[in-house]
Structure 1
Amino acid sequence: MHAKEFVVGIRDNRLFAPLLLGLMGLRPAEVAGMRWSDIDFEADTLAVADTRTVIGNARVLEKDAKSEAGERTLPLPGPVKLALLGFKVLQEPERVAMGGYYTDSGYMFVDTLGQPMSTRQLREHAYSLMAQLGLRRVQLYDARHSCQEKVIFPPSR
């Protein structure tokens, strides 16, 4: 996949920020398990501590990161920080519009009703966008090396 073409092509998509996290190297279950409280916008870091997966399209499994090494604090590159801030701002009018129907789960990766989204939804959405852009279908996580080559996420200063 041409990661830069993908990032440019999806920049106006509602799920731009969660997709960028996948391109940074977070596993889909880590993106799904990310809570707003895991993101420190002042320190420009995000803590990867929990995962959230759906088993058999029915049962939700929430647990600690896959391994001890999986629990980590990562720097938050400027473009990803801006995307996350934009996503957080976008969720507020959704919450207001839905009133009592909105679920305030604390998760970052939620639908317009505040319901936490699944790893499957993230993957299927990414694949759909890749097809729309005429790009080869790859897992977001697999694109992490091309995204970390200073092209998309330049090193923090």
Structure 2
Amino acid sequence: MYLFIKAKEAGLIKENVFITTKLSKFKKLVAIHVDGETQKPDMDLVLYGVGKDDAIKDLMIISLKTSLRERAGQTYKWKLLLEIATSDNPIKTKYNINYPLNKIPIVCFATINFYNEINNPQHRGMFKFFDKSFIGKPIKADFIDNLSSLIDFANNKLS
């Protein structure tokens, strides 16, 4: 969070893009309903763009984790559920899945990879479900970018 605050102060993040860790409002906003039960995403940061009327225009949720084992799995399962909830398919009908928001948020995952799990094929497969993934350690891979590119990505994706 500190990195984003400093980037915002330095003018590196667009004026109409904001960052928050106060997530309760956003978790309610992006909740998926499965037959009357609520499924909320695992998210640690929300970046959002606002329009001229100060209404939320674009939304990016980021799950920040030190380990990939369980946390990436939780986040990618919610993203998969989001894909089902926003498409026309028999699974959506079978489980009575609803998603009230008109626009799908950008779902990102960021890790430091303390436990060096990044090259496990099962873990790498999870990254395909995210709109973008970032890592704090230097790496050259087609499925994940360096954390330093997160601000540029947010500026490009958020209005």
The answer to which structure has the higher strand fraction is 2
TM-score higher than 0.5: no
The answer to which structure has the higher helix fraction is 1
- Normalised-by-shorter TM-score class: under 0.3
Structure with max Cα Rg: 2
Taking structure 1 as the reference length, the TM-score comes to 0.26
Select the structure with the greater relative contact order (CA < 8 A; seq sep ≥ 6).
1
